[in-house]
Amino acid sequence: MNRPAEIVAPPGRSLWSDAWRVLRRNRAAMTALLLLATMTLLVIVGPWLSAFSFDATDWDRISEPPSLASGHWFGTDALGRDLFVRTLYGGRISLLVGAVATAVSLLIGISYGAIAGYVGGRVDQVMMRIVDILYALPFMFLVILLMVLFGRNIVLIFFAIGAINWLDMARIVRGQAMSLRSKEYVEAARAGGVRTGRIIFRHIVPNLLGVVIVYATLTVPQVILVESFLSFLGLGVQEPMTSWGALVNEGAQELENAPWMLLFPATWLALTLFCFNFVGDGLRDALDPRDRQG
Amino acid sequence: MRLFWVWALILALAACGPADQSATSPAPGADNILRIGNGAEPQTLDPHRAEGVPESNILRDLFEGLVGEAPDGSLVPGAAQSWTVSDDGLIYTFILRPDARWSNGEAVTAGDFEFGLRRSVDPATLSRYSSILFPILNAEAVINGELPTTELGVRALDDNTLRIELNSPTAYLPGLLTHSTTYPVHRASVAAAGERFARPGSLVGNGAYQLSEWTVQSHVRLDRNPYYRDAANTQIDTVYYYAIENPDAELKRYRADELDITGALPYQQLDWVRENLGEELVISPYLGSYYFGFNLTRPPFKDARALRTALAMAIDREILTQRVAGAGEIAAYGWVPPVAGYTGQQPEWANWTQAERNARAQALYAEAGYSATNPLRVEVLYNTNENHKRMSVAIASMWKQVLGVETSLLNQEWKVFLETRNQKSDTQVFRAGWIADYNDAYSFAQLMHSKNEQNDSGYVSAEYDALLDKAAVEQDPTVRAGYLEAAERELLADLPIMPVYFYVSKHLVKPRVQGFVPNIMDHHATRHLSLNGD
Amino acid sequence: MAAPQNQPVLRFAVQRLLGAIPTLLVLIALAFFLIRLAPGGPFDSEKQLPPEIETKLRAAYNLDDPLPMQLGRYLLNIAQGDFGPSFQYRDFTVSELIATGFPVSLRLGSLAMAIALLLGITAGTLAALRQNRPADYTIMGAAMTGISIPNFVLAPLLVLVFAVWLGWLPAGGLGDGSLRYLVLPVIALALPQVAYIARLTRGSMIEVLRSPFIRTARAQGLATHTIILRHALKPALLPVVSYLGPALAAIITGSVVVEQIFGVPGLGRFFVQGALNRDYTLVMGVVVFYGSLIIALNFIVDLVYGWLDPRLRQV
């Protein structure tokens, strides 16, 4: 039990329970986490709180401002549909896109980048050449083509966005892995005869978490924004389904005459991104190995 | 220190713009410069290869056809000062104006028109719109490569006389001759500059303006042609056509006084525009029909007239035109919009109340075998566009409310949409619109002919085809109109399509612009306009 | 720490240059087949073409040859610098279109990037120094606002306020190319990037500030600004530099929204219009150009990375 591996994570003190302890002390992060959980819950159950369905049009209530009396708490859109319900429905899609695509990109990106960065040499060269090739393929072009080819299947698009986004992750992880490679404890592990795979996933990957999490919190909003960009081009989710991106895009076109159409979805969108930010920062502090040495 | 260098870099970048940015933009409200929002970037300014509205707007200033248009859209002599028609209606003889000049000062001759029309139908020109010239003798054979271009029924008898022979009497020929495919081109400059002659420096036109600048995705600048036959009466010196595809951005540029005339208006902001810029809003009927088609080649719409009628009746066109489209579009129960010398047809239920229509629609729906427990499930296809989206959502919602139809919506980007629609294999209900090329009912009627490539419903009716074929060779305008009206009645009984509304054109026009007359073709040549010095 | 040596850097450069050729080939082939895989063709339009014309058109653009032959011809042509005629903008060649669009994109993009770097790094560093204090929250809150407002909301908002309401700046176009036409598009392009860079800088700066050598420097009583500028900034910029290559390429070409809303004739619009119109040659031309650009940028980024982290040079 005196292999160098345990210098970083000694037995009996789990990385995650430690992290949780630190995180609980961070008020901003905890508030954000709570808010995020509340919003997610609302997005899931909220539509049942309203008397309206997300696709029911009401020709007598077109573009009405928010009102408690009418029951349209967020007002209505240009077809008289209730914006409260639509905002929550849009949230379902946006959060789903964010979660699925980020998960895909993290999974691929971390494994790929860590292996390339740690193994180095020829393997690294070949792996990075592949990344270069993919990088040089215009991302938007790919997404547009994919939307054209698989236009009917939104799930495929989540994966497509994720599968493209992993490139940044891979590069960042690789860069960090290369500098970690020459760290004393890794060199010690190598000298101690620990297998490469084990070094990568026990020593390199956990030590990358700081960077990975900062990056992941950037990826979720980024992915949600990519979806909204697709909505801007008209390639997003199919009506009458909607997403925050689609709602914000519609709202942006009625800035002056129906500001609530922008205000509510945009607030939800921004609030979600803010929360991801604070939770991410909190996690970063909590997961930083150097803090646990004390 | 480092910050200093970054700032130095920024300043350097800002200062040294690309050298070719010498192009100057007019100051807001500058005298005698007209600035027009013109929609998409023109694909080409070669009159024989152009096909879209943005191109034709610019070409109308650069060239002049044999026949011209007055500000109100009525036909007037253009490059030809007069013409005569033979008794059988097959031969038109045009007398050209002796004072017509190209923008380089050379005389415009009948030979230039002969050359232009031959070039237009020459398959080597790769014109995508030349089929519009089929009425001219041998045009179809020449376009299909079966005859040389010299066999086209167009002859320059002398420098001032041009003769055009037709396959059959074609009442709308003068209207057709305002179209850019019939414009003359300057032979020497085409020969010298080759395929890409339509650029500043090499384009020589016979219109009121000449091309002086073209920055792709930004603007085209035209300056007055001093040699134009009517240059003395041309008021505006310079006109800019800006390529602005986003109507919201266009409206903002108009409000910031960077445009004098807009090409489009964002539907979402119509109410705002009415309230705040009402005086500058110009809306007028436009020769186009907006509709949804049914795919008749497969279930559920194959041999299902009752179902199609039910769906067509169940939509409330008053709501669709007034609250969803909202620019003053005209609720359409028939296919052909109001055109000269033609009486538009309507089914009898056009005069019912919506409640009566709904009741009848429900009965027909049940008759077709559908019910609340066995609802019709249908997919509506539209091309990606804010207006089509709203229209499709609204129609789906009405079908659900009145009949209980379960509709799913599918939007595809334009190229995919065109292919899907044309293949007729996946579509059920599809969005469509048709803008006339010339002011004649036949421009609409021919679309539903069983042989027409764009008959995307797959509508086949022997009666309809027979009536159209008779109309095509009929010389008497009243009898001809009668055939076309009967054909439309036939169409409306079968309902392969569901008419929704007739288009209107929508522009914002600054008060300083004079002479902007709304017309059904939405053509506004710059030479008819002038600017008020403020 | 090895002293900087010219030899390996030069060898590295030559290697990368040679390596770029197969990268480009793969890229071209991939793009070539992908665009042809997409449904719809370049000649589809609302008005159907007579069959004879369609045949002629296809022949004129060599679309009837077997695909490998088309690809071969294309490669041969671009080796001679000929990207072919545009299918959509028929009076121009693809080379001409790129030549008009790129300078505009480059100018906008590099201005936006320079501003984003300056503001982002400054903001990120300040936030890191005041970690978890009000200044940090304020800066990062502002940064997050920058990230969470999509371009297509920000751009019209800027136009509305500064062009329509206040009338200070033009609402669109490039006009005479003077600076006032660039202000709003550059801000709209730079703002989200400021936010990203600030986030990245803050994250890595916090880590660097905790490292032993900074603690030592602090213990020696060096002034904070000296520590930051002399010691901390260089290592803290590693993630930012990693991000820079793709960010710059994306900002130069991917500013479709900004270009569309401001009516700026840049490369990004050609690219999207090309893809939507199935303008095969234009899409291919932009892809090849873009690909070469990214390869070059990544190469520069790697050089900078090596300069910031000297250990890499031993590889």
Q: In this predicted model, which residue has the larger pLDDT, A129 or C118? A: C118
pLDDT of residue B22: 38
Q: Are C264 and C270 in contact (CB under 8 A)?
A: no
* Mean pLDDT confidence for B180-191: 93
- Per-residue confidence at C312, pLDDT binned at 50, 70, 90? low
Instruction: Over range B337-356, report the average pLDDT.
Output: 91
Which of C148, C161, C199, C211 best tests the A interface by mutation, with the highest count of A CBs <10 A? C148
- Examine the domain organization and report whether B229 and B339 are in the same domain: no
- Within 8 A of B272 by CB-CB distance, chain A residues are 256-257
Q: Give me the mean pLDDT over the B459-466 stretch.
A: 94
pLDDT average, residue stretch B347-366: 94
pLDDT of residue C246: 65
Please list every residue in chain C whose beta carbon sits closer than 8 Å to the beta carbon of residue A140: 254, 256, 271-272
Helix or strand (DSSP H, E) at B49 = none
Range from B20-24, B362-366, B508-512, C105-109 carrying the lowest mean pLDDT: B20-24
For residue A8, the model assigns a pLDDT of 44
CATH of the domain at B487: 3.10.105.10
The distance of C75 to chain A (nearest Cα, Å) reads: 17
What distance in Å separates residue A235's CA from the closest CA in chain B?
Answer: 8
Mutation for testing the C interface, residue in B7, B24, B59, B126 having most C CBs under 10 Å: B126
Same domain, B117 and B164: yes
- Find the mean pLDDT for residues A130-153: 68
Residue B427 has pLDDT above 80, yes or no: yes
Per-residue pLDDT of C122-156, as tens digits, reads: 999 888 888 878 888 888 878 877 777 788 888 88
**Is residue A147's pLDDT more than 80?**
no
Most confident of B414-423, C102-111, C244-253: C102-111
* pLDDT(A7) > 50: no
pTM given for the model: 0.85
Residues of B with CB below 8 A from A152's CB? 410
Are B415 and C52 an interchain contact pair (Cβ–Cβ within 8 Å)? no
Q: Give residue for tokens 């879209």.
A: B52
Q: How far is CA B64 from CA B67, B154, C206, in A?
A: 8, 18, 70
Kindly state the average pLDDT of the residues B489-516.
Answer: 94
Helix (H/G/I), strand (E/B), else coil: B499? strand
pLDDT of residue B464: 95
Q: Are residues B456 and B513 in the same domain?
A: no
Contact B437, B443 (CB under 8 A): yes
Sorted by where each begins, the domain ranges of chain C are 100-277
Residues on chain C touching B218 (C-beta within 8 angstroms): 173-174, 263-265
8 Å CB contact of C23 and A132: yes
* Cβ contact C273–B41 (<8 Å): yes
Residues of chain B found within 8 Å of residue C159, distances taken between Cβ atoms: 249, 252, 256
What per-residue confidence (pLDDT) applies to A282? 76
State yes or no: pLDDT of A22 exceeds 80. no
Domain count, chain B: 2
Mean pLDDT of C270-277: 81
Please state the CATH superfamily assignment of the domain spanning residues C100-277 in this structure: MetI-like (1.10.3720.10)
- pLDDT (mean) for B97-101: 92
> How do the residues of chain B divide into helix, strand and coil, expressed in percent and rounded to 5?
35, 20, 40
SS percent in chain A: helix, strand, coil, step 5: 75, 0, 25
Residue C71 predicted with pLDDT over 50 = yes
Q: Does residue B362 register a pLDDT over 90?
A: yes
Contact C173, C264 (CB under 8 A): yes
Return the amino acid letter for A104.
Answer: V
* pLDDT at position C93 over 60: yes
pLDDT of residue B337: 93
Rounded to the nearest integer, the mean pLDDT of chain A is 78
- Hey, are the CB atoms on C52 and B144 less than 8 Å from each other? yes
Digit-coded pLDDT (tens) for B474-487: 878 889 999 999 99
Q: Is B383 helix (H, G, I), strand (E, B) or coil?
A: strand
Q: State the SS3 of B428-464.
A: CEEEEEEECCCCCCHHHHHHHCCCCCCCCCCCCCHHH
pLDDT for A210: 67
- CB contact under 8 Å between A240 and B409, yes or no, is yes
Interface predicted TM-score (ipTM)? 0.85
Asked if A57 lies within 8 A of B323 by C-beta distance, the reply is no
Q: Is the pLDDT of residue A1 over 50?
A: no
Q: Between the ranges A142-146, A222-226, B322-326, where is the mean pLDDT highest?
A: B322-326
Paired with B201 in beta bridges are none
Q: Does A210 contact C207 at a Cβ distance shorter than 8 Å?
A: yes
- Whether the pLDDT of residue C173 is over 90: the answer is no
Preceding amide of C156 cis, omega within 30 = no
| Residue B26 maps to a domain | no
Residues B120 and B179 in one domain: yes
Higher pLDDT pick, A157 / A101: A101
pLDDT band at B5, cuts 50/70/90?
low
Per-residue pLDDT, averaged over B110-136, amounts to: 91
Judged by a CB distance cut-off of 8 A, whether residue B411 touches chain A is yes
| Cα-only R_g, chain C | 24
Q: Are residues B62 and B115 in the same domain?
A: yes
Task: Look at residue B273 and tell me if it is in a domain.
Answer: no
Do B107 and B192 reside in the same domain of the chain? yes
Q: Which of B242, B256, B454 sits opposite C167 (nearest CB)?
A: B256
pLDDT score, position C96: 92
Rounded to an integer, what distance in angstroms lies between the CA atom of residue B211 and that of residue B201?
8
B200: in domain: yes
Q: What's the whole-number mean pLDDT along residues A96-113?
A: 88
Q: What are phi and psi of B112, to 5 degrees?
A: -65, -40
Same domain, B376 and B524: no
pLDDT of A136: 67
- pLDDT surpassing 70 at residue B96: yes
Type and span of the H or E element at B470:
helix B462-473
Q: Do B118 and B189 lie in a common domain?
A: yes
CB-CB contact of B481 with B441 (8 Å)? yes
CA dist., res. B312 & res. C152, Å (int): 37
Residue A244 to residue A89: CA distance in whole angstroms: 9
- Residue A149 is predicted with a pLDDT of 63
Q: What is the pLDDT of residues C259-269, one digit of tens each?
A: 888 888 888 88
C214 compared with B124, residue with greater pLDDT? B124
Query: What is the model's pLDDT at position C4?
Result: 45
| Distance (Å) from the alpha carbon of A62 to chain B's nearest alpha carbon | 8
CATH of the domain at B527: 3.90.76.10
Domain hosting residue B399, numbered range = 287-503
User: B-C interface: how many C-beta pairs under 8 angstroms?
Assistant: 183
Q: Are C110 and B41 within 8 A, CB to CB?
A: no
* Residues in chain C closer than 8 A to B216 (CB atoms): 89, 92, 97, 100-101, 265
Q: B18 pLDDT exceeds 50? A: no
The pLDDT tens digits for A29-40 are 888 889 989 999
Q: Which is more confidently placed, B256 or B128?
A: B256
Quickly state the pLDDT bin for A153 (edges 50, 70, 90).
low
Same domain, B321 and B397: yes
Picking from A62, A238, A254, the nearest residue to B409 by CB comes out as A238
- DSSP letter (8 states) at residue C170: -
Read off the pLDDT band of B1 (50, 70, 90): very low
Neighbours of chain A (3+ CB pairs under 8 A): B, C
Is the CB of A22 inside 8 Å of chain C's CB atoms?
no
The phi-psi region of residue C50 (left if phi > 0; otherwise alpha if psi is between -120 and 50; otherwise beta) is beta
B488 within some domain: yes
B248 vs A contacts (CB less than 8 Å) = 253
**Is B267 in contact with B327 (CB distance < 8 Å)?**
yes
What residues have CB less than 8 Å from C306, skipping those under 6 apart?
A: C9, C312, C313
- What are chain B's partners, defined as 3 or more CB pairs within 8 angstroms? A, C
> Which residue in the block uniquely carries the two structure tokens 């999490």?
A213
Alpha helices (H) in chain C, listed in sequence order: 6-37, 51-60, 67-79, 94-129, 134-148, 151-158, 179-210, 212-219, 224-226, 233-236, 238-253, 256-262, 267-276, 280-308
Residue B2's pLDDT is 47
Helix (H), strand (E) at residue B14:
helix B2-15
Using the predicted structure, report yes or no on whether residue B204 has a pLDDT greater than 80.
yes
Q: Which two tokens stand for residue A194?
A: 């620990």
Tell me whether residues B268 and A239 touch, CB distance under 8 A: no
Nearest-5° angle of CA C293, CA C294, CA C298? 120
Q: Is A139 on the interface with C (CB under 8 A)?
A: yes
Same domain, B234 and B321: no
pLDDT mean over A184-188 = 79
Same domain, B444 and B414: yes
Rounded CA gap, C181 and C204, in Å?
Answer: 36
Residue B210 or residue A229, greater confidence: B210
Give the pLDDT of residue B19: 39
Q: Span B419-441, mean pLDDT? A: 87
Of A136, A256, A290, the CB nearest to C291: A136
Distances in Å between the Cα of B86 and the Cα atoms of B90, B154, B164, B169, B474 are 6, 15, 11, 10, 15
Query: Same domain for B233 and B291?
Result: no
Mean pLDDT for all residues in chain C = 81
Give me the pLDDT at residue B3, please: 47
Q: How confident is the model at residue B460 (pLDDT cuts 50, 70, 90)?
A: very high
Q: Does residue C1 surpass a pLDDT of 50?
A: no
Q: Three-state SS for B210?
A: strand
Parallel/antiparallel/unpaired status of strands B377-383 and B406-412: parallel
Q: How far is C187 from chain A (nearest CA, A)?
A: 18
Please name the helix (run of DSSP H) or strand (run of DSSP E) that holds residue A172, with its range, or none. helix A154-181
Among A46-55, A239-248, B137-146, C278-287, name the one with the lowest average pLDDT: A46-55
